[in-house]
Every structure is written in structure tokens, then in C-alpha cells.
Chain A
Amino acid sequence: MPKRTDIKKIMLIGSGPIVIGQACEFDYSGTQACKALREEGYEVVLVNSNPATIMTDPGLAHRTYVEPIDPETVAAIIAKERPDALLPTLGGQTGLNTALAVAEMGVLEQYGVELIGATREAIEKAESRELFRQAMANIGLKVPASGIARSMEDVRRLGSEMPFPIIVRPAFTMGGTGGGIAYNMEDLEAICRHGLAASLKSEIMLEESVLGWKEFELEVMRDKNNNCVIICSIENLDPMGVHTGDSVTVAPAQTLTDAEYQRMRNAAIAIMGEIGVETGGSNVQFAINPANGDMVVIEMNPRVSRSSALASKATGFPIAKIAAKLAVGYTLDELPNDITRETMASFEPSIDYCVVKIPRFTFEKFPGSQDSLTTSMKSVGEAMSIGRTFKEALQKGLRSLEIGVPGLGKDFCGCPVDKEDILAKIRTPNSRRLLQLRQAMKAGLTLEEIHDATKVDPWFLRQIQDILKVEEELKAFALGGRINAADAACVALLRKAKEHGYSDRQLATIWKRDPLDIRQLRKEAGVLPTYYLVDTCAAEFEAYTPYYYSTYETGQELHTGTNRKVVILGGGPNRIGQGIEFDYCCCHAAFALKEMGLDAIMVNSNPETVSTDYDTSTRLYFEPLTLEDALNIIDVEKPEGVIVQFGGQTPLNLAVPLKRAGAPILGTDPDSIDRAEDRERFQHMLQKLGLTQPPNGIAFSAEEAKRIAREITYPVVVRPSYVLGGRAMEIVYSDEDLDTYFREALGVSGGRVKENPILVDKFLENAIEFDVDALSDGTDTYVAGIMEHIEEAGIHSGDSACVLPPHTVGGDIIQEIERQTMALAKELNVVGLMNIQFALKDGVLFILEVNPRASRTAPFVSKATGVPLPRLATMVMLGKSLKELDPWSMRKGGHVAVKESVLPFHRFPGVDVLLGPEMRSTGEVMGIDATFGLAYMKSQLAASNRLPSQGKVFISVSDKDKAGIVEPARILKELGCSILATRGTAEHLKAHGVPCEPVLKVYEGRPNITDQIKNREIALAINTVSGKKSIHDSKILRQTTLLYGVPYTTTLAGAKAVALAMKERSGATLGVKSLQEYYDLA
């Protein structure tokens, strides 16, 4: 049966901002779905608040709403667009939950919209812990013993009946949000309070622990005729107890016999039928008792998930695309397999390589949080790697992570590790455990001891041991001193090491050589990688989709062709500060290159992304982004250019070494990048151009820093010179603070900083910051977007909200910003994109930073102005002039766009939510409307900061903010809100004619403000602080706000924006408008 003809218009819901547990994979799935549905002739309506997604590019859907993803907004879009069907299974948990909420509101019924892909009943059955448990019982499958709690009384009752540890799993959430492992009643109550709040339906399950059991996942697809195929099996290296998103996972399953695998397969298919997933992809998780093979079902997701993206990239099977086509009525045997062309989608991929996924963590950015892994996901990204063996894939995966390790083992020093020490470390799952397993073996622990402590399957431990054996061989060989390409034993060992995944950098460390010497040695010895295909069928059929991985084997199957080609280096695993925005740029580079008739060669290691979709580029290399791996590809491809300015810091760091190795870097010269990054060269350049930067100096000790600080006057911003993304960056107000900083942040007291000097800059208090994105061809410069930060200077630009166009400064300032931008672009001879950060204080513009590369804001600016920056930048790099391309004529105006950041604080209990110079946001949303207030309101709604229209507002601000808070407080009062304020703030407000009630601070006795928050009396919290002590004293207040989900702001500027937004919102309903309408395309 072909596709349905009774539906014409289909609505898709995206997943919104990147958060922990929901990242680029839903852009990947949504983009595939949009393309697939369009291809079939359907009209596609899309809603997604995330501007940095490919799916929200106006060419993908017919109607693209960059609007908040909440039931009210979606309902408004449905009322306006009148779609025939709603496909809820491709936008993550957000998409699913929102669709369910809209269905419950009766909106779908009212407008005759059909849910396709999954029915309301199926979603509820799969997502409700209780219904799911019953469903499993119906088909004779076991689940861990458990109880359902809907209140704290339930929790206490169940807690007293069940043995600890107890796993807490909230219903209708993703990424294990609000879940955890409780070892005692106190833990349990704390986790459950959070969990009940996190669950869409205040339902949590308390489950008897199967900690230590083996964990598996199957990715299943089903069509409307009940044909089921398993796309991929996945085995977790980390046993039960660690969220699968935080686990090292391997595909296919490694330690199951066919009989055991088939039992699991049968169970997965039975589950699809029982839950009633009509069509599409689902993910089912199982746990197996390693002692006797007992199997229990953990959970299933009736939608495309993060694991689906991984399974797609691991096998080459386009799950999301096929899921979309199944949803409109096709069956699996009617859809061709794009990769083999001659076979159909109704088959199960067979792979002839091993895939390893390793999560990437950022605990260091959240001081106060514990580096331990539980059932609540904490990783912010992941790298995937492919090798012919697990050992090769594991080492490639580790170097793909970009956490400073070139594989398993970093310095290979014989540093003694204490057995007990390391045993204690590995016993608790943590972000470094994979590396600690090696140390544990080095320390002399037996595999049995390690297995007992970690429950990691002995198979994985032996694989790691095999890697270490080669390390020993390499060390022993180094002593013989016969490291040269003429020595047969050396060549054989070199090949063996490469087959075990050793990087040149690792070999260089062990053999005490330069990595490039090892590379030379390999070339002389003929130890070179070959590139094998990911073909879904283990070479049984010819493959047409050029998706490659490197390995050290004997065959050759790469076809590079004779067309002109350009290599694009991607961004690697998502991390804070480098995520989907850069992938967006890389994808556009590929699209532009293909459009110009060139081959686009993509290199990336992030399985979540659109860039690693097989039809984004001409050829895809799923490879680590290291110098070695990049040069290997450049060697075989011999491209005419390499694009490094789109993938964020990762490829940018490779620019200079690549250039030195002879690779043709496209666009801005790496020397210009150095000129912008090197402090001295940067200063010289600014002086030459007559531009101003904040007074600054370089210090090697606390004393030196103090001297500089006194000279340029406090407050100052201090940071180590090598850091990125604001790591260890702080604003200090006094000598005392500076001492603390050296002692605590740097671990240095009294003495000198060893390697990297400390940069001390004057902190421009209460300055307004601007981010500027520009495009230059070396001759002309197009100032693409000037964004005014909402939050004042001192907050990392990535965490700050911003508005385009600026709303508080005049035309003269704008002109000056444009003049300076053009001067810098010209001086640096920028060819491509650049980003500049300015600060405006007392009428003077200061330059904070210049980055001659694509910035995090490039997609936002592109979307807000309708000018496709990365695409134009690619064309410029290939020689087109701006005059020819004429971006000026493309620009759309007449609206205001606000970008807001989304922060992951709720994942890291114990962390203060104050914003600072260190970036901690994981994603962003865009609010777009006719005025600043409405756009800001939308941005807040989209970021789940659900500003109220009424109710009690709590205000407590620092002395410096007291004058400024009066006006916003007055507005709130006029809107009918009542105001609660702490003593000082209350006095000030009253003195200025704003009536308010006083309330006690946390340390002033009971009842205090946190009691009112807990009693859910507070509708909005405004809290600003300065100085260490007051920050410390009010931390509990902010954490309570977070825990109870109260909308909040921690800056005065934020408070002003909030008041303005609430004022504009009052009395008016928020409208919805598609990008196509904003761009006058419709």
C-alpha cells in the first residue's frame, strides 16, 4: 500500500533547545523527517524554538514556526495552519509530551487533526510507568519489582517496604530527568521530591535495583502491517545503574549468544505490538543478570531517540527518514534502502565493524556538583568511533572526545597508583572511569577485582588489557632502539599498534618522538590507514552511499573521484560552548559546496548531528578530529581546500599545524587567527587601528596580579591565558578575593604560576555588551548582526540573552560598532565569518574579543535576518565576492529577535544558578515578534522560564542594583502583582513609593522566603547579589527556586526585561508567525 492521500498537511514538533538528554539528534531526525515528507509531496508545518537547527531553515518545511514549544503555542499554530495530521515521534520527549498535552486539551479533536506515528494510547502506555508495567505482564515479560508513587506519602510507604538501593524513575521524562539511585530514606525523599516535580504527570516509579546487571538496547522499527525489524543492538560497557546516555556503549551487542539475542529480539517485537506503536522507530532497554541470564525489561521509548540517532550512524540505516515514511502509510518492503539501492528497508542491518560511543562530561563547569554517574543523565555530548575491532574503536573514541587524551593512556608514565585508592574510585561510576580501568590494571589489580568493583563485563576488561599489552610491547621495543622503517620488527609492531587503535601521539609519547616523526615513520613503512564503508550489509551488496571510517586493513574501497573537493572539519562531540551552532555552519558549508558543484568532504565524530547524516555531504568520514586523522584524510582526498572556521574551536586549533603540514586552509589565514588570539599581537593590532580595549596586564603570581589590579583598579577579570569558554574565569573585587582565586581556582598560593600566565583585565561594571557577527571577503565587509546583551558585562556571552537589533543604544553607537568591525575585518584580512565582542561603558566602546571564525550566534543571526551567513561565507572562501552575493539585499527587518540561553542547573544538584564569566548553558532558543517585550516573553517561554502574568513576586537585590529595581518593581505592581522583598530592598522600594511586604532571608529565621517558595506561593523571583558572602548566603534561596521550578532572574537587566515583557504581554495574546511570513516568502 502506498502513502496516504487523505492527508495533505502534516505538523512536526521539534525538541527545542539543546539540553542534557536532548541534543542535536532531534535536529537530525526532524531534518530527515521534513525532507522525507516533502519528498512525498506533503505540506510540512514545523514548530521549533531552536534557531540553530537545520530543520528550522526556511527551505525545509513549508511553514516554520520558531516559537515556544508549549501546548498553548502549538494549539495556536494548529488553529492557524489546520494541519491534517500531527507527527509527534521525531521531536524527542518534548515533541511527544507537547503532542500529548495538545491532545488532552482537545485541540486535535476540535480541528480534526490525527496523531500519526503513535496514538495517544500508545504514548501513554509506554510512558506511564504503571501502564507499561501492566503491559509487560500481559505478554509475560519480567520487569524489576517496583511501585508507583504520586505523592511523598507514597514514597515513604514504598521506601519502607522495598530494599535499598532503590532506583527512582519519573514518568514522561527523558534523560532520566529527576531520577536517581537512593541508598537510604533521606536520599530517596530528596530524589523523589525532585522527580515528582520533573514528571509531566507527577508520577514516579520506585524500582528494585538491578545494579550491576548487563544492560542492552534494541532499536526496533515497525510498519502498519506489523512488520518489525531490529536496526541495531547495543551493549553498555557500564552496567545497570548508569544512564545509557552516560554509559560507554558498543554496537552490536558483544556477549550474547544467538539464542539469547533472539530471545531479546522476540521480546522487543512483542513489546512493540503490546504497546501499540503503530509505525516508526522505538528503543527498548533490557537488563540481563550476568550470573544466570535472567532478563528484565527496563523501559521503551515509543519515538525516535538519542539511541536511534546512534543506531542510524552506527549502521547507516536512516531511522528517522524511514519512520516518517512509515507514518504516512508506507510499509517497510515498499521503501528502498538508500545505501544499497537494490535492497529494501525491510531488512536488518549487518555490520562488519565495531562501534563505540563515549559520553563527554563537563563536571568541572559545575563546582559543587559531584562527579558521579547515576540514572539521571549528566553528559552534554558524545563521540562515536568505528573500528574493525573494539580495541581500535575504543581508542579512536577516546581521542575523539577531545578531553586531552590521545587514547587509553596519556603520558604512559610509571606513576605509582595506590591499589586501594583506585579501587575506591572505580567503585563509583564517574566520568573518568574508562581511564581509571587502565590505571587499576596498571596498579596491579586483577581483572576479577576490577570486575567485582565495577561489574564491567570481563570481556571489556580483557579488551582493555589487550590494549595495555601492546603498550608494554611498545615500551620494551623502545629500549631496543631500533625505531626505523627499515626494521621489519618495528614495522610489524607499528602496524599492530595501529590495529589496536594507538594514535601517533600515543606512540610519540611512548617512543619519545614527535608525533609528526611517527607519521613520517609510518609513511616510510607503509603503515597507512585504509577507508572502509559503512554499508548496512557487511559487504554483501554494493553500497552507493559514501560513508567511511579508517582502519588498518589490507583492502581499498575508497573512491575519491576527480571532482574539485573541499574538506570541512566538524566540531566533534557537543560540549558547553561548542555544539549544534557549529554543526549548523558545517552543514551549510557542505550544502553550499555541493550547490557550487564541488565535492563536500565532511569529517566529524559526533553521531547526533546533521553533518554526519549520509546525505549532507558528498563523502562522510566518521573520524576523530585530531591532526593525525585529519592529515590522513587530506592525504587521500587531496582537496583544494580545508574549511576550519566553521566547526568551533576544535578545527580552529588544527589550523596552524595543518597549514604547517601543507594543507590548504580556506578563508582567513591561520596567522590572522593567531593575531586575534595572541595577546601581544592583538594589542599591537588594536593600537595600530586606534581601537580601545579594557586596561589589562599579565601576572605570574598573586602579588603581580594585585599590583596590576590596583593599577587598573578593581574590579578585574582574571583567567589563565590558555582557557576557552571562560574556564576558571572570575571577577574579583579585592586583594583578598584575588588571593582566594589563586589558592582555590588555580591551586597556587604564594608561589608563581608555572606555565600559563594569568590575564588580568579591568572589569567594566554595568557596561552593555554587544556581539557582532560579520562576513568579509577581504575587500568588503557585511555586518550581519549586532546583538545587544540583555545581561550586563561579566556574564559569559554564551549564557547571556541578547536582542537583535539593539534596543537601548542610538544610531551613532551602531555606526561606530560597524566602523570598528570593518576596520578589524580589513586588518585581519578576514575571508569568511568573524565575531567581535564589544562593551559600551560611559559612551566608550571597548573591544573584548575578536574571533575570525564562525561564532555560536551565526545561526541565530542567519535566522533573525534571513541572510544565510555560513552559506555565503563558504562561497566567499571559494572566491565569490560579497558584491556579487549581495547579502545587503537579502536582509529582512521589521521584527525583533531575542536569543535566550538554556542552562542545565537542575541536572547538577548543589550548584549555584548565578550566571558568571564561565559559560554553562547547553543550548539556546529564539523568540521573535514585533517588539522587544513580546520577543523576550517568547524567548523566556521557549526556555521554560514561564513568566507569570499575576501573583507574588519576590525581590531581593544587591545595593548597587537597588536604584535600578524600582522601575521594574513599579511595573510589576501596576500589573497587579504583589511584591515580597527582603529588608533592604523593601525599604528602598517603599521609600520610592512601591508598596511591598517584607520577607525574611534564609539565615534570618523562619518562616523565610524558601518556605514560601516551597509552599508554591511565589510566582517569580528576582535575586541579584554581589560579593562572595552574600552569594554564599543566598545560594540556598536560588537552589530552592530552581528545585521548585519558579521562574527567576539573577540580574537587574533581566528583571527589567522581564517587567517589560510582562507589561507588553498583559491584555494581549501572543501571536504566532512563521519565518516564511517574516521573510515575505509566503
Chain B
Amino acid sequence: MRAILALEDGLVFYGTSFTGDGESSGEVIFNTGMTGYQEVLTDPSYAGQMVCMTYPLIGNYGVNAEDVESDRVYVEAFIVKECCKIPSNWRAKESLPDYLKRHNVLGIEGIDTRQLTRHLRLHGAKRGIISTREADPVALVERAKAIPVMEGQNLAAAVSASSPYRWDGTAPRAVSLNKDGSYDWPGVHTAPDGRGVRVVVYDFGVKWNILRLLEAQGMDLLVVPASFTARQVEQTGAEAVFLSNGPGDPAALGGVIDELAALCQRYPVAGICLGHQLLGHALGGKTFKLKFGHHGCNHPVKDLLSGHIEISSQNHGFCVDVDSLKDVEITHVNLNDNTLEGFRHTKKPIIAIQYHPEASPGPHDSRNFFHRFRSMVREELGR
């Protein structure tokens, strides 16, 4: 079925829908990862975005039950050069078109994705619309112009969990807090003193692999909604706070930032991606929007503490303005464009990185971040 992709600036692409009839809109961005489309599709950070894969052959290994980062597909639409209809992989359970159809997400192919990517690189991320219904490209361009811009959008609230849950190793399990707001930490993990570190994880659209890796560090996790207050955190009996990744503009989460500022005074805190940006705000800094963002699995990041270079998984459209931060030491920089990739507070137990140490997709070079978090918390707690 013929589909049209129209961008706000008038550029139009003609392709074919491999998921049937549909229409979708959002910010069009590109991702340069050559593998990992299933993780991309299920990453809540892509909410509000239509993702164009620069690698042209997508869907070759199908979709499996394990490589998911959430319980559904979050991208608004998926744009590829050529979609493979019959996958080949021993773990494949479903084809990519079937999977997207099941999740009601539009997928289009036959797009000159290099041309689209070059356009976005030169002119920045663009609002766009894809339709199999409207045949008039001019009308679609007009509608694309009417789509809200990413700046100022609080998307994290929309994708965040509605109530607290725990991680059972493979999936979330809803939990109920006690009347006084406390939580009966299951204590499945044992530390030398007999119990694991109790960590509240803010879900701004958390990728499951963050939970998997925190758990692997021997931590007890309680995942909470974005709306959770500092007071509520205190009531749970948590010992540390972890801020997840997520979509949208961090500056739009004013209420959350205030709560985080309070938490920073009392707890060891770590943040990834949106969590990193929110910490930047909570510590009095600012963020700005990157021209076309970082989305891929090949950016070199230098760990200034060790001197080591990590090939990193990246997915962010906003960036923390280094100069706006006080009492902060830069720990990681992007070697491609020298943007800030990580910092630590010089006085408080606060660390953050902009990219994705949980990978999924991408290289596992940065997993030590979770270890650093655990060491920081243990040191702070004296265990």
C-alpha cells in the first residue's frame, strides 16, 4: 500500500506501507545502529518520534520474545529502505511486519533513507507525517507543520508507569505500598549486612535492561511513576535513587525537577539519558536541543576518569549545557562533537551519564556505570 512521508519543510518521500492502512505523525529522527531494531521499537524514549533506520535492510532476524525494552512498541512509525517479510534466526518468533501490525504501528519501506538522513543532518530533526490515506502531499506538509514541536513536550509523564512496580527478573510486577507509604522490600538480594541496597527507580520510560542490570548488581528495586514525590520516596524506605531514560524535553518536567532537587540533598542519585538531563536541571543547570540528536551504537565516549574509550549506545535529542552547572565535574565527553556525556557532583554522591550504559541495542562497553552506582551507594551507606 502506497504511503507518503511529508516533512514540515516540504520534503516528501513516497514509499510502501508494510503494515497496511494507517497514518502517523511525530518528530522524524534517524538511528545509525545496524542491529537492534526490536530494542529501538520498544524503547519508550522514542515516544513521539518516527524512527528512520539508516541501515537499509531491516527485519532480517525477525522479532523474538526476549529482546524487548518495554511491553509495547513506542515509536510512532518506523521508516526503512527494505523490510524483510520472512525472518531467519533461531530465536525469531514473528516477522517485523506482523509485530508492528499487532502493535498498531505504521511501518513503511521503499524510502531513500540515506536521502532522508542527509536532509535531517543538514536541516535538523523535522516534524513529519506518514499517511496511506491522504494522497495529496501538499496537504500532508501543511498538517506536518501543525504537529507540536518536541521542545516543551512532557512525554515522560505519558509513558511513565501509573503505579509502582517491582522487577521480577523478566517483567514488571505491580506492587502495593503500605498505608504509610512504606514498602516491604523483598530483600531478594543479600549484601554483607544481610540485605540488598534499596533503590527507587524513577520510570520516565525506563528501558527494561536498566532494571535487569541494576538487579544484576544486587539491588532491590522499586520502580515508581514520574509523579512520585521526594516525600513519597522517603516513605518507601529507599536508600538510593535512580533516574531512568525517557522521551521528550527535560525542561518541560518542572514539577519533577523540583522533587529531584530535594532528593539530591538526601540520597545517592544516578541518572541515565533523560535522568541525566533532569539531574542537570535539578542541580541548577540548563539543557538545549541538539540539531538532529545522537541516535546510534557507534559514538566514542571518553571516560575522563579512566582515560578509556567506550563505544556507546546513544539516543538523545537534548543535551546538558556544561557551562550552566556548578560543583560538577565532567566525567564523560563525546569524542565526535565534544558534548557532555556524563558528570559527577564534586560534593554529593550524584553521578549521571547521557548515553546508554545498558546498551540494548549497542556495545556493552559502558556497563561499569552500574557498578559505579553500586560502589557509590555502598560507600555512602557505609557498607
Contact = CB atoms under 8 A, between A and B. Distances in A.
Contacts of B60: 254-255, 459
Contacts of B165: none
Contact of A346 (B57, B112, B335, B361): B335
A350 B57 contact: no
Interface string A245-272: 0000000111111111110011000000
Contacts of A226: 308
B57 A538 contact: no
Contacts of B118: 539, 555, 557
Contact of A540 (B64, B84, B86, B121): B121
A532 B116 CA distance: 13
A539 B336 contact: no
A259 B212 CA distance: 14
A255 B118 CA distance: 27
A134 interface: no
B88 A257 contact: no
B251 to A, nearest CB: 25
A458 B88 contact: yes
Contact of B89 (A252, A255, A343, A351): A255
Contacts of A70: none
Contacts of A349: 298
A293 interface: yes
B81 interface: yes
Chain A interface residue bracket vs B? 35 or more
B91 A293 contact: yes
Given A258-B360, A292-B90, A333-B309, A539 B57 contact: no
A216 interface: no
Interface string A556-575: 01000000000000000000
Interface string A207-231: 0000000000000000001110110
B195 interface: no
A554 interface: yes
A388 B80 CA distance: 12
B88 A255 contact: yes
B66 A265 contact: no
A257 B38 contact: yes
A462 B84 CA distance: 10
Given A350-B55, A388-B81, A459-B84, A255 B61 contact: yes
Interface string A340-356: 00111011111111100
A293 B91 CA distance: 8
A189 B321 CA distance: 69
Contact of B32 (A258, A262, A538): A538
Given A227-B308, A262-B362, A540-B121, A257 B115 contact: no
Contacts of B363: 262, 265, 348
A343 B308 CA distance: 17
Contacts of A229: 300, 311
Interface string B297-308: 111101000011
A253 B89 CA distance: 12
B115 A555 contact: yes
A290 interface: yes
A949 interface: no
A542 B336 CA distance: 12
Interface in A938-953: none
Which one of A255, A538, A555 has the greatest number of beta carbons of chain B within 10 Å?
Answer: A538
A291 interface: yes
A974 B355 CA distance: 78
Contacts of A252: 34, 55
A258 B36 contact: yes
B61 A347 contact: no
A390 B57 contact: yes
A290 B89 CA distance: 7
Nearest to B88: A459
B163 to A, nearest CB: 30
Contact of A354 (B54, B57, B296, B299): B57
B117 interface: yes
B67 A539 contact: no
Interface residues of B, number: 53
Given A257-B35, A389-B82, A540 B114 contact: no
A258 B55 CA distance: 13
A544 interface: no
Nearest to A251: B34
Given A257-B35, A553-B115, A348 B298 contact: yes
Contacts of B112: 553-555
A537 interface: yes
Contact of B39 (A230, A258, A343): A258
Given A258-B362, A262-B362, A553 B32 contact: no
Contact of B35 (A258, A344, A354, A557): A258
A541 interface: yes
Contacts of B361: 258, 262
B33 interface: yes
B172 interface: no
A773 interface: no
Contacts of B82: 388-389
Contacts of A333: 300, 302, 309, 335
A788 interface: no
A257 B33 CA distance: 11
A257 B67 contact: yes
A538 B89 contact: no
A799 interface: no
B362 A344 contact: no
Given A342-B336, A389-B56, A332 B362 contact: no
Contacts of A555: 112, 114-115, 118
Given A257-B61, A258-B360, A350-B298, A539 B36 contact: no
A457 interface: yes
B317 to A, nearest CB: 14
Contacts of B13: 554
A261 B307 contact: no
A525 to B, nearest CB: 17
Contacts of B279: none
Contacts of A352: 32, 54-56, 113-114, 117
A541 B308 contact: no
Interface in B329-351: 335-337
B335 A538 contact: no
B115 A554 contact: yes
A227 B309 contact: yes
Nearest to B117: A539
Interface string B141-170: 000000000000000000000000000000
B125 interface: no
Given A293-B91, A555-B114, A350 B296 contact: yes
Contacts of A292: 90
Contact of B90 (A293, A331, A539): A293
B309 A343 contact: no
Contacts of A542: 121
Interface in A318-365: 331-333, 342-344, 346-354
Given A291-B90, A554-B13, 13 more contacts: A230-B311, A252-B34, A258-B67, A261-B35, A290-B90, A293-B91, A342-B336, A348-B297, A350-B298, A459-B88, A539-B117, A554-B115, A555-B112
Chain A to chain B: the 7 pairs with minimum beta-carbon distance, closest first: A258-B36, A555-B115, A258-B361, A459-B88, A538-B54, A258-B35, A348-B298
Interface of B: 13, 30, 32-36, 38-39, 54-57, 60-61, 64, 66-67, 81-82, 84, 86-91, 112-115, 117-118, 121, 296-300, 302, 307-309, 311, 335-337, 359-364
Interface of A: 225-227, 229-230, 233, 252-262, 265-266, 289-293, 331-333, 342-344, 346-354, 388-390, 457-459, 462, 532, 537-542, 553-555, 557
21 contacts: A227-B308, A252-B55, A256-B61, A258-B39, A258-B360, A261-B35, A265-B364, A332-B300, A333-B300, A343-B336, A347-B299, A389-B57, A389-B82, A458-B86, A462-B86, A538-B55, A539-B114, A539-B118, A540-B117, A553-B114, A555-B115
